[in-house]
Chains A and B, each alone.
Chain A
Amino acid sequence: MNKAREGFMLLEAILSVVIVSICLTFIAQSLLTNFRTGVRFQEMVRSFMIMENRLGLLYATSASQEDLDSNAQPLDKPYDKFTVTAQTNTVNDHLERVGLTVDWPVGKPEGYLDLTTIIYNPDEN
Chain B
Amino acid sequence: MKIKVVVKLINGFTLVELLLGLAISTIIGLSVYNMFWQAMKLDDKMRHVHESYTEVLMADYALSHDLENAIKLDFSGSYPDAKNFDGQKTEFSFLTKTPKGIKHVRYYSGLLNGAVAKSMIGRVVNESSNLASSATGALPIEFLLRQESSLADWLNETTSNTSTQIIAAGFKKESFNCQYASFSKDLHAVGSKGIDYTDTWDKNGLPLVVSCNFVLYDPKKPEEGLAFKRDIFLSPVLSYHDE
Contacts and interface: CB of A to CB of B under 8 A. Distances in A.
A92 interface: no
A77 B191 contact: no
A61 B191 contact: yes
Interface of A: 1-7, 10, 13-14, 17-18, 20-21, 24-25, 27-29, 31-32, 34-35, 38-39, 41-42, 45-46, 49, 52-53, 56-57, 59-62, 64-67, 77-79, 121-123
Across chains A and B, which 3 residue pairs bring their CB atoms closest together, nearest first? A66-B191, A56-B233, A64-B191
Name the interface size band of chain B.
35 or more
Contact of B233 (A24, A59, A65, A66): A59
B28 A21 contact: yes
B121 interface: no
Contacts of B47: 38
Contact of A56 (B7, B189, B209): B209
23 contacts: A2-B8, A5-B11, A6-B11, A10-B17, A14-B24, A18-B28, A21-B29, A24-B33, A28-B39, A31-B42, A31-B43, A32-B39, A35-B43, A38-B47, A42-B50, A45-B53, A53-B229, A57-B195, A59-B236, A62-B188, A64-B190, A65-B191, A78-B227
B11 A10 contact: no
Contact of B9 (A4, A29, A79): A4
Nearest to B10: A5
Contacts, number: 133
A35 B46 contact: yes
Given A56-B232, A78-B229, A13 B21 contact: yes
Q: Which of A3, A21, A39: most chain B Cβ within 10 A? A: A21
B132 interface: no
Contact of B42 (A10, A25, A32, A78): A32
**Chain B contact residues: over half helix, strand or loop, or mixed?**
helix
Contact of A28 (B10, B12, B35): B35
Interface in B192-221: 192-195, 208-209
A38 B227 contact: no
A57 B49 CA distance: 29
A58 to B, nearest CB: 9
Nearest to B50: A38
A7 B230 contact: no
A60 B194 CA distance: 11
Given A41-B50, A42-B53, A34 B43 contact: yes
Interface stretch (B56-64, B100-108, B137-145, B148-156): B56-64
